């Protein structure tokens, strides 16, 4: 009689960061011994909570290139400052021929950006932002590097700024009400008398002759 054992279910551990391959290409290197074929991978990783990084590595196999890029991205992690569910202010950065402009967006608008920039902001956990590539370069590597330069150069003053809207506590509201009531009690009541001008009625008496 065969023994039926219980199947064990192993739970897979969730990865520390979400990752997405942005660019994967073949690279050929010509040497004295001949041509060497390898793969180059551009990988974006992030925790969707403000931290994001990129890695660019080569390998003889696709999996080797991706693993090396993942380890490289973990070393290049940056923190994106998020203020009121968006970026602190507008900024423009340049890397070689690539030029990227990033600016805040109102709540509910989401991420208004193209392919590579959108991926970086989504994995970085930015809820609302607007970005575009101003330069003529369509190279994904240079555009990603320009974007990371922009995200790293936000001003600390804008990050630590206080909200413009004034919030009043319950105690302040009660104090204001008491002041208004006391002012009403102190103010004297002024009675204004209106004088009505009485019209004099003159009766004409007719005399009979």
Residue 209 predicted with pLDDT over 50: no
For the beta carbon of residue 187, count every other beta carbon within 10 angstroms.
8
Tokens of residue 198, six digits: 């009485």
Question: Whole-model pTM above 0.75?
Answer: no
Bridge partners of 43?
A: 21, 55
Tokens of residue 166, six digits: 């004034």
Where are the domains positioned within the chain? 18-159
Region of poorest pLDDT, from 33-37, 115-119, 149-153, 177-181: 177-181
pLDDT of residue 23: 95
Distances (CA, A) of 193 to 52, 196, 198, 207: 78, 9, 15, 43
Cα distance between residue 17 and residue 44, in whole Å: 10
Express each pLDDT in 70-117 by its tens digit: 999 999 999 999 999 999 999 999 999 999 999 999 999 999 998 899
The edge-to-edge listing of strands for the beta sheet with 78-79 is 18-31, 34-46, 51-59, 78-79
pLDDT of residue 8: 62
Q: Using only the alpha carbons of the chain, give its radius of gyration.
A: 37
Correct CATH for 18-159 of 3.40.50.150, 2.40.100.10, 3.30.160.20, 3.30.70.20: 3.30.160.20
pLDDT of residue 33: 83
Cα distance between residue 153 and residue 52, in whole Å: 15
pLDDT of residue 190: 52
| Contact present, 70 and 19 (Cβ < 8 Å) | yes
What percent of the chain lies above the pLDDT cut of 90? Answer: 57
Express each pLDDT in 163-204 by its tens digit: 555 445 555 655 555 555 555 554 555 555 555 555 555 555
pLDDT of residue 77: 94
């Amino acid at each position: 009689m065969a023994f039926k054992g219980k199947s064990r279910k192993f739970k897979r551990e969730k990865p520390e960061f979400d990752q997405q391959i942005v660019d994967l290409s073949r690279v050929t290197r010509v040497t004295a011994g001949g041509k060497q074929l390898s793969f180059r991978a551009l990988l974006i990783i992030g925790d969707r909570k403000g931290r994001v990084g990129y890695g660019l590595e080569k390998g003889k196999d696709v999996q080797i290139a991706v693993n090396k890029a993942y380890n490289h991205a973990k070393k290049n992690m940056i923190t994106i400052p998020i203020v009121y569910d968006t970026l602190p202010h507008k900024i423009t950065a340049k890397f070689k021929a690539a030029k990227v402009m990033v600016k805040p967006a109102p709540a509910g608008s989401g991420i208004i950006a193209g392919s590579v920039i959108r991926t970086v902001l989504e994995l970085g956990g930015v809820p609302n932002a607007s970005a575009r590539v101003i330069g003529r370069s369509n190279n994904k590597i240079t555009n990603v590097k320009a974007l990371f330069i922009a995200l790293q150069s936000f001003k600390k003053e804008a990050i630590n700024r206080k909200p413009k809207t004034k919030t009043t506590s319950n105690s302040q509201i009660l104090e204001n009400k008491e002041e208004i009531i006391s002012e009403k009690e102190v103010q004297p009541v002024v009675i204004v008398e209106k004088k009505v001008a009485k019209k004099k009625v003159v009766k004409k008496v007719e005399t009979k002759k």
